Structure 1
């Protein structure tokens, strides 16, 4: 087992370098998180060269771009046993849906995305590791990626008994070296990428490479898949999304599961060029990096939820909720999905969601959208202001109407 760097501390050791991997027992299984990308493939190569006999590469399918066939080819070429686990429905129901109700937007800049998937990925890896008696769960995030603290945080809060972490934390390897060594091993499937990417059914995200410099960055149009405008000039489209008790349930009156709904909305809303985001996100010590996203379904569903919520909930309740939304978002971003504070805030958000039922009709147009109907089952809005004024004045003017008490009586 990898030596614990904190002396007599009995917490599981944190893996931070390739040198630490030398202490692995070659006869005990190791679990690695595997995306099919350059970093995760190179880690498989290093473990194979170290003589680890049983390497389990875990790929969690949450709607990412890379195909399962591609991942299987790379993992098998590097001597790993691959586990491709379909978690799309779970990701949508247990992670994306709460994020919609929590209005999980990073500092008002962009919806959170990859941070929602890290707890699910960590949980799946820990479940497998415990089932096979693995000595370590390894991932490949580096210190310029927020995934490092999110995965480490989730693995720690899950109480995984073995070693875990990323050898790239203290021991980065150049892209050229990784490509060269993989090529020498007969794996040449990974060349040609100009950015780092992370994708799931909720978001396609790009960073690094040609997007390193916030002061000078251009995203090639072909990198976008969902939000590339295809609608004809002047074309518009009406679209209605319905929520019940905080959950999106139907589009244009047709009941849909959330996974299917997100897929449909990414294409329909994206056809009008909506749902692109760019922004800076902080690292552990406060430095910031540029990230580019396309999230058409998220754009529409988050805005729809806020409109329905505003029709159902008292204004003061929404003001307090907006504060707690950022607490929820912060806890998720910092890798504390399984922490007590996020779970406590979730209970408040769930209580608000239980009263959030209604629908919004949008008119989509290139570059924007306008509401055409906001409807709620138990609305707080007025539909006839003049009639409301007449009723309230009449009630206050009634001869036997109770008058306000200025002083308390005993």
Structure 2
């Protein structure tokens, strides 16, 4: 193997990156600098500095990226309404580009001659990390141990960790693959690899309670938006990080945002996972409801197409691309009038609209009422229906003529 002097490693303290530190030193003879992107994983950050240094890293950076994560990645994706395959709220997808970008900045600062990540060759994250690295350091060598080492499974990885005396918190029996940040928590592996197995929610849920344990009484909340960005909860203004923390708590208590799905990975295979996104699910619902009030039909319908493409772009790791930026510009234009308040009812996994207002509302009770009005002449609709249905009339007459001639 080529020798490197200094390698920057995307470090989480989990199984993969924990064993990679001694592996890098053993195989490349290099200094290893661990970089942790704090995107709100909270308890997972505890003891990381001690663990990384004890495992062999020469230095560790623990970078607080939470505000940037929320303001520059989460909120633009909510504004776009981007949901991958109708279910996945992109929690891991939009965190990776941000971390990759910061890794490059630190690698340049430290004079590193390679960047390493612990993603497997089967997953999406290898693409997301590496495309971010290529966007800011196109010539930087990238080391992906899962593609080249002799370890073939997580069980063998655990055995390697024990051999090298690497401290790990998991065992063979609890070896779910997880990713946690301020937005979500994902669970993959073990019994979840069989789509016919019902998830043991009592065992795996961490952000949310189960439907059975959720309160029997509904919780009402009000969210305030300015240009598609949530700015207040129940009338109290707060920054994005604080607001999401509060919504995660409220959503989790009411079993909101638990998703079990089989998704199509970028690399071609299907994978099954369980996602917990309590606060995010609430925000998506509130934002979508407010758009129904504030966007005209043609803009709203076209934006749905943009949302599908935006979701694919984010999922596929293409955040730092011209197309993503161009679509974001379109989205920002649509959000100029998405301002107002949305009242929601949270109850046993459900998020139900309970009323909304906006100074830019396009809903007119005067026109829409079933009662008497002075602004709409129902006779006008006859001409509209005749013109709108003209192609159908012409087609029907043509069919009648053909049938007549066939007789």
Task: State whether TM-score is above 0.5.
Answer: yes
Report which stretch shifted further, 230-239 or 198-207.
230-239
1:131 aligns with 2:101: no
Change (3 A) 1:216 1:29: same
1:189 aligns with 2:173: no
| Counterpart residue number, 2:289 | 307
Task: State the distance in 1 between where 2:213 and 2:264 align.
Answer: 35
Say which SS state the counterpart of residue 153 (structure 1) adopts.
helix
Change (3 A) 1:220 1:194: farther
| Counterpart residue number, 2:399 | none
Q: How far did 1:328 drift?
A: 1.0
| Counterpart residue number, 1:158 | 136
Larger proportion of helix: 2
Change (3 A) 1:328 1:369: closer
Q: How far did 1:250 drift?
A: 0.5
Note if contact 1:29-1:55 (Cα within 8 Å) is conserved in structure 2.
yes
Q: How far did 1:53 drift?
A: 4.3
Q: How far did 1:65 drift?
A: 5.0
| Counterpart residue number, 1:100 | 78
Stretches of structure 2 that go unaligned for 5 or more consecutive residues are: 381-407
Q: How far did 1:24 drift?
A: 2.0
Residue correspondence of structure 1 range 291-306 to structure 2 within 5 A = 291-306=273-288
| Counterpart residue number, 2:17 | 40
Change (3 A) 1:186 1:171: closer
1:64 aligns with 2:41: yes
Report which stretch shifted further, 221-230 or 190-199.
221-230
Note if contact 1:113-1:203 (Cα within 8 Å) is conserved in structure 2.
yes
| Counterpart residue number, 1:381 | 363
Task: State the distance in 2 between where 1:306 and 1:33 align.
Answer: 35
1:145 aligns with 2:123: yes
Change (3 A) 1:374 1:118: same
Quick one: which of 372, 375, 396 aligns to 1:392?
375
Say which SS state the counterpart of residue 106 (structure 1) adopts.
coil
TM-score by length of 1: 0.86
Task: State the distance in 2 between where 1:256 and 1:97 align.
Answer: 14
| Counterpart residue number, 1:15 | none
Show structure 1 runs of 4+ deviating over 6 A. Answer: 394-397
Note if contact 1:179-1:190 (Cα within 8 Å) is conserved in structure 2.
no
Q: How far did 1:179 drift?
A: 2.3
Change (3 A) 1:297 1:232: closer
| Counterpart residue number, 2:396 | none
Say which SS state the counterpart of residue 391 (structure 1) adopts.
coil
Q: How far did 1:187 drift?
A: 2.1
Note if contact 1:157-1:338 (Cα within 8 Å) is conserved in structure 2.
yes
Change (3 A) 1:53 1:169: closer
Task: State the distance in 2 between where 1:124 and 1:39 align.
Answer: 20
Quick one: which of 177, 188, 204 aligns to 2:185?
204
Change (3 A) 1:357 1:367: same
| Counterpart residue number, 2:402 | none
Quick one: which of 56, 61, 64 aligns to 1:79?
56
Task: State the distance in 2 between where 1:34 and 1:257 align.
Answer: 28
CA-to-aligned-CA distance 1:323-360 (integer Å, 9 cap, x gap): 01111111111111001111111110111112210111
Q: How far did 1:189 drift?
A: 2.4
Note if contact 1:134-1:162 (Cα within 8 Å) is conserved in structure 2.
no
Report which stretch shifted further, 287-296 or 378-387.
378-387
Two-structure CA RMSD over aligned residues (Å): 2.2
Q: How far did 1:396 drift?
A: 9.8
| Counterpart residue number, 1:55 | 32
Task: State the distance in 2 between where 1:164 and 1:224 align.
Answer: 34
Report which stretch shifted further, 284-293 or 162-171.
162-171
Residue correspondence of structure 1 range 225-236 to structure 2 within 5 A = 225-229=206-210, 233-236=215-218
1:280 aligns with 2:259: no
Change (3 A) 1:216 1:131: same
Task: State the distance in 2 between where 1:224 and 1:187 align.
Answer: 27
Change (3 A) 1:72 1:348: same
| Counterpart residue number, 1:17 | none
Change (3 A) 1:287 1:359: same
Note if contact 2:161-2:168 (Cα within 8 Å) is conserved in structure 1.
no
Task: State the distance in 1 between where 2:265 and 2:148 align.
Answer: 15
Report which stretch shifted further, 382-391 or 103-112.
382-391
